[in-house]
Structure 1
Amino acid sequence: MPIGVEWPAIGSALVSAGAPLLRNRLLAALAQSDFDNLRPHLTLVGLVDDQTLFGPGEVIEHVYFVEQGVVSLVADTGADDLGIEVGMIGREGMAGVASVISDRPIAFHHTRVQMPGSALRMPVACFRRLLGSVPALRERCLCYLDAFVIQIAQTGACNGRHHLPERCACWLLAACDRAEGPEMPLTHDTLSAALGVRRSGITTTIGALQEAGFIRSGRGKTVVLDHAGLERAACGCYRLVRNQFDRLLACP
């Protein structure tokens, strides 16, 4: 997708009268009458950089419909205390997706904020009840769950088979989609944590992408300058996963 072009907003549900359109695609896809059933149970909360929403073994008590920012699903590797990202969540989806199929979901991975923003939070008990009473919510969340499972599987394959420069370009493209623009609050430490590699490897890779003219990075920010060029530098995983999200989140 060209720089600056957002994922399409669907529907016209509002958080409250006179409020701006919802950013979250799952909620924005609902009819106003359906969203009215959810509204009393939603609380707008901030997402702070490096905040952990839930960790391995913890009962998931809330779901988070991301409005702005990026949340990562990070798996422990058991090697040198380095984790690695296996899933990325932005305004296309929700954190706590296990709640779609479980009354008492327990986190298996770390769910951590990679880029700050905001989310609409709902208690799992309310969410589970609404899945039964609002069919459109259930259908949208099941479509998202399908897409998210595809993303996790493809990310695992990508982490195991592709080289760091390709993976880094792929990650930057996916983050750019969710940042709603070319500029992202990203440091080398953030990328190191997401990709599960040493900071020195990120520094070398970012330097090469800058030299090619695809990005500009510095002072805690990364700007995508050439989206098409960055996609050529990435592995095919970015486009494969992106196409599946577009297909599944367009479901009725």
Structure 2
Amino acid sequence: MQTSTTPAISLTGAQQNELLRALSREELIELFAHLDLVPLAAGKRLFDAGDLMEYAYFPTNAIISLQYVTEDGGAAEVAVVGREGVAGVAMYEHERANCCAVVQTAGYGYRIKSEILRRAFFGGGALAQQLMRHTSALFAQLAQTVAGVRHGTIEQRLCRWLLERLDRSLSNELKVTQELIANMLGVRRESITCCAGKLQEDGLIEYRRGCVTVVDRSGMERRAGSCYSAS
């Protein structure tokens, strides 16, 4: 039974995901029969590297971090997916994940079995076009992440990381910790503390434990420079 805190399962609800909203009403109705609205709790692992890709997830207000995990257990974020896209697309039968997906910001999303999404993809139409466009955007995001690690300063990378979440958030308030940011960027927590302090001093963000509020978005974009502007 639906509660006051649980979104209604509806075509309108599914259209909170921008990729699904780009489909024709007929395509969405056909796909909707196979979509399940699921809660996505912060920290939930949707799949790990090497797992069979059983489901794909279309977030509505949740944010999913795609991460590469090293043999010693370290993790580095390679891309992020929010209401603009989908996580876990498998174009081939028995395809396995090449990264892990972790819910970073809690919310909801629509889940669909990979085999059904794959069948719909090969049927052509707007869904196939949107999935290919989204895959291309993920590759571009990955390339920019790599370039940022190689050429960007820690401050630029921090600004970009926050802006990426802001792009996918319904408010300018982000519930994140400095420890999480440091782990995702692969830097020391002290470095993030120093950069966040400078951004706060300059009036770009307000930070309190576990929460960052972006006050001056345009200023953040200028600080991020090419780390963000080409995305």
TM over 0.5: yes
Inter-partner Cα distance in structure 2 for 1:116 and 1:192: 19
SS at match of 1:94: coil
Deviations 1:83-104 (A, max 9, x none): 211101111111113x1x3222
Residue identity in the other structure for 1:37: E
User: Equivalent of 1:235, from 205, 222, 225?
Assistant: 225
Residue identity in the other structure for 1:210: Q
1:190 positional shift: 2.2
Inter-partner Cα distance in structure 2 for 1:76 and 1:132: 31
Residue identity in the other structure for 2:33: P
Deviations 1:144-181 (A, max 9, x none): 11111111111111112211111000111111010132
SS at match of 1:154: helix
User: Equivalent of 1:83, from 50, 75, 80?
Assistant: 75
1:15 positional shift: 5.6
Inter-partner Cα distance in structure 1 for 2:61 and 2:10: 18
Give the direction of change, closer, same or farther, for the CA distance of 1:131–1:217 in structure 2 (3 Å limit): same
Residue identity in the other structure for 1:16: S
Residue identity in the other structure for 1:148: L
Q: TM-score, normalised by structure 2?
A: 0.91
SS at match of 1:95: coil
1:161 matches 2:151 = yes
1:134 positional shift: 4.8
Superposed CA RMSD = 1.8
User: Equivalent of 1:188, from 178, 181, 199?
Assistant: 178
User: Equivalent of 2:86, from 94, 98, 108?
Assistant: 94
| Identical amino acids, percent of aligned pairs | 34
Residue identity in the other structure for 1:35: L
Question: 1:3 aligns to what?
Answer: none
Give the direction of change, closer, same or farther, for the CA distance of 1:93–1:201 in structure 2 (3 Å limit): same
1:145 matches 2:135 = yes
Question: 1:34 aligns to what?
Answer: 27
1:216 matches 2:206 = yes
Question: 1:16 aligns to what?
Answer: 10
Residue identity in the other structure for 1:205: C
Residue identity in the other structure for 1:229: G
Question: 2:3 aligns to what?
Answer: none
1:198 matches 2:188 = yes
> Do 2:155 and 2:223's aligned partners in 1 also have CA atoms closer than 8 Å?
yes
> Do 1:75 and 1:83's aligned partners in 2 also have CA atoms closer than 8 Å?
yes
Q: TM-score, normalised by structure 1?
A: 0.84
User: Equivalent of 2:51, from 39, 51, 58?
Assistant: 58
Aligned residues: 224
1:237 positional shift: 2.5
Inter-partner Cα distance in structure 1 for 2:198 and 2:94: 46
Deviations 1:3-62 (A, max 9, x none): xxxxxxxxxxx9636x45721111001111110110111001111111111111111100
SS at match of 1:102: coil
> Do 2:14 and 2:60's aligned partners in 1 also have CA atoms closer than 8 Å?
no
User: Equivalent of 1:43, from 13, 30, 36?
Assistant: 36
The gaps in structure 1 that reach 5 residues or longer are: 1-13, 242-252
